Amino acid sequence: MVNYSFIAQFIVAFSIGYVWIFRFENIVKEFKQYGLNDLTRSIVGAAKIVLSTLLVAGIWYPELVLISALLMAFLMVSAQYFHFKSGNPWYKHIPSFLLLILCLFIAAVSLKLV
């Protein structure tokens, strides 16, 4: 049987890794646009990489999943806030919104709500 939560965990982790490693120049521009400093960017980046790693580790250690998914969801809500605050077009909201939905799904599965 396919475990959709594992797939979602991998998608979230891979997406975060891809953006924060291979598209870092874009991250730098966005954080400047939002008026956030380099220290904030570094803290957010480190948190996202750690949480992504915990989501993947959660495939083998399920007790890591709930808090990691909820904290990542919080970061995605924060991303939505800054996209709205800066007046970004709707299409720039889509990636963090989809990751938010996946994180909430992961948390719901972890809580056995779905």
Q: What is the pLDDT of residues 10-33, one digit of tens each?
A: 999 999 999 999 999 999 999 999
- Count of residues in the chain: 114
* Cα separation values, 9 from 29, 34, 37, Å: 27, 28, 29
- Judge whether residue 1 has pLDDT over 60: no
Q: What is the pLDDT of residues 32-91, one digit of tens each?
A: 999 999 999 999 999 999 999 999 999 999 999 999 999 999 999 999 999 999 999 999
Structure tokens at 65: 């999943």
* 68 in Cβ contact with 55 (< 8 Å): yes
Q: What is the pTM of this model?
A: 0.94
